[in-house]
């Protein structure tokens, strides 16, 4: 009987052998239902073999071979093998975690028909000029459908309430829903010299600048794999370069994968690309989709029906048979790094995938990661620069620092900044106050005894959320009601220390009672489609002052925004994390780039106690190159990435002795291997206690990736033998958090 080797979602670094009954066809990449212990599980066939070392009596037969979805390709299986090996994570968990949830279940997958909406004859006969003006969303939907039929996702991009309004239009008999079969193949025209040109509508609304055209030409001329770093200042039109590159690929009948760091950026990008390619099938893949939507979109990519795949980090594992171009937008963003389970970097995996498939990849950013920037400098990547803003009349914002020790402050906001906001309100322009801390205040304190609102489960503090009168831990989720008096001394005079978004919002409401203020953070955008509604308000200039966290820092284009105020950025200047200055610089450049993107000059005001710090000076002169050169010089002297390659072994448990015993044994085992790596001491984590678990870590460094990988392959089997029953342990290759 044929023997297959199967990947199963269990924490064991091996494949499992099963038999298949004669006459049943099965190949690599197919999903199978099989017995595992007392359970019935889904696995993915990785290979078929003739012989095995497992005794025949121990090999069980598979229960069923699933044919409800196309098998995974050999290329995707190779990519997952690479990730399992490089990130030292069990092969079964690596393979299954890359699949949509529905494909990990042993229940059969039922593909739902693709639904599209179009106008009925009665709807087409409607006169939109006489249609009730108060029904704004319905008017938008009817106008959109008058151009072409649309699916639900396209219509939801028009408004947060499009779903409900669409039902009303269907009930009125003006719109009808139709189920589409397999997508009609695109019309192809023969190309001179062989190949096919695929015809599609391209709204070429913008003429490229010289720099943009050079970037497009360089990438389209690439033969096979090439990695390009598109270093463009904010507002330089990187998205326009992406659009023209996509157009070139779509003409050849290829598929494009575009990775974005955060789910909040997907709706507006999706809407923008659909407006430029109205008849191209674009799908998105991110955690905001339902299980059914995610499976449907994933299968469209797998069959080649989806020509553009837009998604967050997990979409790097999407099955894309016609992949011809990969774009990673905001490549420096830490969100591309998975922080649990398979701790992969989607950017790095995308680069490997581009190399594996022999296609070009573009890494875009206004503030590239120092690793990528260094690779471009030494010639591993090709540098493409956009140093001018796309709109001729748009100029980079002026950056000014205010010394908080030499000015009057009002609960975290300087008088100078408040005056600037007042001027913007008078001119009907928008202002943004950026503070990367949600809640009302970082901590509650007793003025009598000095009590602080510490979390009982963590080494952190409970953050005051005044709107619902709660103290919350942002690390473990623990929360309590705000106490009426100090728990230690009974003093009723408890006051908040520091500022969060809610407190800044409250201060602004007192100072500008007639201003329209909008707070954008994880608390205010928790409800589904809340952020989309807020974005519509901002674009309609229905907001005077924005108060927000890093959610507002990148990728957004608000034409009326001319002032950005940065509050309390100094904490990153004396952080123990060697990457903290790099992250702060990138964050401030991104948030500063929101100002003055149209024809109005933008201004950025940074409140700091260190106005002469080199980081702020580089921001004022927009000198990324000089800042990067100084940081790289420091990294080289200190022996940090990109001049070193690192792996971090972490352990956490309820007993501190067990945690340190495990890590010290792991360190001893590493030293016995006597390989050319640097083994540092066992130290507490940056947050040494979280959710009642003590946390510590062990860092390994090597001067080359190859040496580090050789060491990890030898070290991993030794780690598996160490006693760690009551511990949570993880090995993080190329860690970003310390």
Report yes or no: 34 and 18 within 8 Å, Cβ to Cβ: yes
Q: How many domains does the chain have?
A: 5
**pLDDT tier at 591, thresholds 50, 70, 90:** confident
| Cα-based distances in Å from 55 to 13, 21, 51, 58, 628 | 20, 17, 10, 6, 59
pLDDT of residue 350: 98
Residue 608 lies in a domain: yes
Query: Across residues 422-447, what is the average pLDDT?
Result: 89
Listed in order, strand segments (DSSP E) in 235-302 are 255-259, 282-285
pLDDT over 70 at 184, yes or no = no
Question: For 71-86, what is each residue's pLDDT tens digit?
Answer: 999 999 999 999 999 9
Residue 489 lies in a domain: no
Exposure class string for 677-693: b at 16+ Cβ within 10 A, else e: bebeebeebeebbbeeb
**pLDDT tier at 577, thresholds 50, 70, 90:** confident
pLDDT of residue 189: 37
What is 73-128 written as a DSSP string?
Answer: PHHHHHHHHHHHHHTT--HHHHHHHTS-GGGGSSSPP-PPPEEEEEE-HHHHT--G
Q: Based on the domain organization, do 175 and 263 belong to the same domain?
A: no
Q: Based on the domain organization, do 239 and 354 belong to the same domain?
A: yes
Q: Based on the domain organization, do 435 and 354 belong to the same domain?
A: no
Is the pTM higher than 0.95?
Answer: no
What is the CATH number for 508? 3.40.50.300
Q: Which of 136, 157, 180 is the last residue of a domain?
A: 180
pLDDT over 50 at 101, yes or no = yes
Residue 508 lies in a domain: yes
Question: For 38-91, what is each residue's pLDDT tens digit?
Answer: 889 999 999 988 888 888 888 899 999 998 888 999 999 999 999 999 999 999
Residue 636 lies in a domain: no
pLDDT over 60 at 533, yes or no = yes
What is the CATH number for 80? 3.40.1440.60
Reply yes or no: is the peptide bond before residue 642 cis, omega within 30 of 0.
yes
152 CB-contact burial (10 Å; exposed 0-12 / middle 13-18 / buried 19+): middle
| Cα-based distances in Å from 502 to 222, 439, 517, 537, 651 | 50, 5, 11, 19, 35
CA-to-CA distance for 67 and 33, rounded, in angstroms? 11
Query: Across residues 316-337, what is the average pLDDT?
Result: 95
Mean pLDDT (the chain, rounded) = 88
Q: Based on the domain organization, do 160 and 216 belong to the same domain?
A: no
Question: For 660-707, what is each residue's pLDDT tens digit?
Answer: 999 999 999 999 999 999 999 999 998 999 999 999 999 999 999 999
pLDDT over 60 at 252, yes or no = yes
- In this structure, the chain runs to a length of 738
Triad 659, 662, 663: Cα angle to 5°: 85
Report yes or no: 531 and 525 within 8 Å, Cβ to Cβ: yes
**pLDDT tier at 331, thresholds 50, 70, 90:** very high
pLDDT of residue 352: 97
pLDDT of residue 111: 63
pLDDT of residue 394: 61
**pLDDT tier at 191, thresholds 50, 70, 90:** very low
pLDDT over 70 at 362, yes or no = yes
Q: Based on the domain organization, do 218 and 330 belong to the same domain?
A: yes
pLDDT of residue 182: 38
**pLDDT tier at 403, thresholds 50, 70, 90:** very high
Token pair listed for 579: 């990457």
Q: Which of 592, 623, 654 is the last residue of a domain?
A: 623
Compute how many other C-beta atoms are within 10 angstroms of the C-beta atom of residue 189.
9
Minimum mean pLDDT range among 381-385, 427-431, 567-571, 572-576: 572-576
Q: Based on the domain organization, do 53 and 124 belong to the same domain?
A: no
Q: Based on the domain organization, do 661 and 727 belong to the same domain?
A: yes
Contacts of 132 (CB under 8 A, 6+ apart): none
Q: Based on the domain organization, do 554 and 699 belong to the same domain?
A: no
pLDDT of residue 725: 83
Question: For 601-615, what is each residue's pLDDT tens digit?
Answer: 889 999 999 999 999
With a pLDDT cut of 70, the percent of the chain lying above it is 93
pLDDT over 90 at 153, yes or no = no
pLDDT of residue 335: 92
pLDDT over 80 at 553, yes or no = no
CA-to-CA distance for 103 and 106, rounded, in angstroms? 8
Report yes or no: 93 and 30 within 8 Å, Cβ to Cβ: no
Is beta strand 382-386 parallel, antiparallel or unpaired with respect to 226-232? parallel
Q: Residue 195 sits in which domain range?
A: 188-386
CA-to-CA distance for 174 and 646, rounded, in angstroms? 61
pLDDT of residue 10: 94
Indicate left, alpha or beta for 428 from its phi (over 0: left) and psi (-120 to 50: alpha). Answer: left
Sign for the CA dihedral angle at 256, 261, 267, 272 comes to: negative
Sign for the CA dihedral angle at 352, 358, 359, 362 comes to: positive
Report yes or no: 24 and 65 within 8 Å, Cβ to Cβ: yes
Of 506, 501, 494, 524, nearest to 442 by C-alpha is: 501
């Amino acid at each position: 009987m044929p023997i297959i080797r199967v990947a199963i979602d269990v924490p064991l670094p091996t494949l499992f052998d099963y038999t298949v009954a004669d006459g049943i066809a099965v190949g690599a990449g197919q999903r199978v239902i099989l017995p595992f212990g007392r359970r019935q599980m889904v696995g993915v066939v990785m290979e078929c073999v003739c012989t095995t070392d497992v005794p025949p009596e121990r090999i069980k037969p598979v229960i069923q071979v699933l044919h409800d979805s196309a098998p995974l390709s050999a290329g995707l299986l190779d990519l997952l093998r690479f990730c399992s090996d490089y990130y030292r994570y069990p092969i079964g968990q690596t393979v299954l975690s890359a699949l949509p949830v529905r494909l990990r279940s042993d229940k059969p997958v039922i593909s739902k028909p693709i639904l599209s909406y179009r106008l009925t004859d009665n709807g087409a006969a409607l006169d939109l000029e006489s249609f009730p003006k108060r029904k704004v969303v319905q008017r938008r939907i009817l106008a959109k459908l008058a151009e072409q039929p649309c699916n639900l996702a396209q219509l939801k991009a028009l408004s947060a309430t499009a779903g409900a309004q669409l039902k009303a239009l269907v009930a009125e008999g003006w719109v009808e829903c139709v189920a589409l079969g397999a997508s009609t193949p695109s019309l192809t025209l023969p190309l001179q010299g062989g190949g096919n040109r695929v015809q599609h509508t391209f709204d070429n609304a913008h003429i490229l600048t010289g720099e943009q055209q050079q970037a497009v030409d360089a990438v389209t001329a690439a033969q096979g794999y090439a990695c390009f770093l598109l270093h463009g200042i904010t507002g330089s039109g990187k998205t326009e370069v992406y659009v023209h590159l996509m157009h070139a690929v779509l003409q050849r009948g290829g598929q494009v994968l575009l990775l974005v760091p955060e789910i909040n950026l997907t709706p507006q990008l999706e809407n923008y690309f659909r407006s430029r390619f109205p008849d191209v099938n674009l799908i998105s893949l991110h955690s905001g989709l339902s299980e059914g939507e995610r499976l449907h979109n994933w299968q469209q990519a797998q069959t080649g029906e989806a020509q553009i795949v837009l998604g967050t980090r997990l979409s790097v594992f999407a099955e894309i048979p016609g992949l011809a171009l990969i774009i990673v937008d905001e490549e420096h963003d830490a969100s591309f790094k998975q922080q649990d389970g398979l701790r992969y970097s989607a950017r790095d995996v995308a680069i490997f995938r581009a190399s594996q498939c022999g296609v070009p990849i573009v890494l875009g950013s206004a503030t590239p990661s120092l690793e990528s920037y260094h690779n471009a400098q030494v010639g591993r990547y090709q540098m493409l620069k956009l140093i001018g803003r796309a709109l001729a009349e748009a100029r980079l914002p002026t950056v000014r620092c205010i010394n908080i020790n030499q000015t009057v402050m009002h609960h975290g906001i300087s008088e100078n900044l408040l005056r600037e906001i007042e001027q913007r309100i008078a001119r009907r322009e928008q202002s943004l106050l950026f503070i990367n801390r949600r809640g009302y205040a970082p901590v509650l304190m007793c003025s009598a005894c000095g009590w602080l609102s510490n979390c009982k489960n963590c080494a952190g503090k409970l953050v005051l959320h005044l709107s619902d009168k709660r103290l919350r831990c942002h690390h473990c989720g623990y929360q309590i009601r705000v106490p009426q008096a100090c728990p230690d001394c009974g003093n009723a005079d408890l006051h908040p220390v520091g500022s969060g978004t809610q407190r800044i919002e409250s201060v602004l409401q007192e100072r500008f009672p007639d201003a329209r203020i909008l707070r954008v953070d994880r608390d205010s955008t928790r409800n589904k489609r809340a952020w989309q509604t807020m974005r519509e308000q901002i674009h309609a200039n229905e907001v005077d002052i924005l108060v927000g966290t890093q959610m507002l820092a990148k990728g957004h284009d608000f034409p009326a925004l001319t002032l950005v105020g940065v509050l309390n950025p100094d904490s990153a200047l004396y952080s123990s994390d060697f990457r903290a200055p790099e992250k702060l610089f990138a964050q401030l450049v991104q948030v500063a780039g929101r100002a003055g993107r149209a024809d109005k000059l933008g201004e950025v005001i940074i409140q700091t106690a260190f106005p002469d710090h080199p980081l702020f000076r580089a921001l004022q002169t927009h000198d990324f190159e000089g800042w990067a050169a100084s940081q790289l010089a420091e990294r080289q002297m200190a022996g940090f990435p990109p001049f070193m390659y690192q792996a971090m072994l972490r352990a956490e448990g309820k007993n501190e002795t067990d945690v340190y015993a495990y890590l010290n044994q792991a360190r001893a085992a590493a030293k016995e291997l006597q390989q050319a790596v640097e083994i540092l001491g066992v130290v507490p984590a940056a947050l040494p206690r979280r959710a009642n678990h003590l946390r510590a870590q062990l860092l390994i460094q090597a001067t080359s990736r190859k040496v580090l990988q050789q060491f990890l392959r030898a070290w991993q089997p030794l780690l598996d033998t160490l006693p760690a029953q009551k511990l949570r342990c993880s090995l993080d290759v190329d860690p970003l958090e310390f």
